[in-house]
């Protein structure tokens, strides 16, 4: 999947992946896609919950080894 920006949040503990994702999303235009990489297990539920509450959309979610990957489309 093609993304507008890739953000590496690996090694950050909750709630930092969500906080950083919000800051990155604020820089993007509507329809842009942020690809977020995180290693915090809590991100598996936190990122989709935040995306839903903020009106953004998770268009894809994947996991490679211990890295969670999210493609988030800005509303």
pLDDT single digits (tens) 12-29: 998 999 999 999 999 999
**pLDDT for residue 63 is more than 90:** yes
Q: What is the pLDDT of residue 1?
A: 82
Residue range 24-39: mean pLDDT, rounded: 98
Domain ranges of the chain: 5-73
- Which candidate, 37, 14, 39, places its Cα nearest to that of 72? 37
Contacts of 45 (CB under 8 A, 6+ apart): none
Strands (E) located in 1-75: 5-9, 33-38, 57-64, 67-73
Q: Give the catalytic positions in this structure.
A: 14
- Four-way CATH pick for 5-73: 3.30.110.40, 3.40.50.300, 3.20.80.10, 3.40.50.10210: 3.30.110.40
């Amino acid at each position: 999947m093609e993304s507008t920006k890739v953000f590496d949040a690996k090694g950050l503990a909750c709630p930092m992946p969500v906080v950083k994702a919000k800051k990155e999303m604020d820089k993007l235009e509507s329809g842009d896609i942020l690809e977020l990489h995180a290693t915090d297990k809590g991100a598996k539920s936190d990122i989709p919950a935040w995306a839903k509450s903020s009106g953004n959309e998770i268009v894809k979610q994947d996991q490679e080894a211990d890295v969670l990957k999210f493609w988030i489309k800005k509303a």
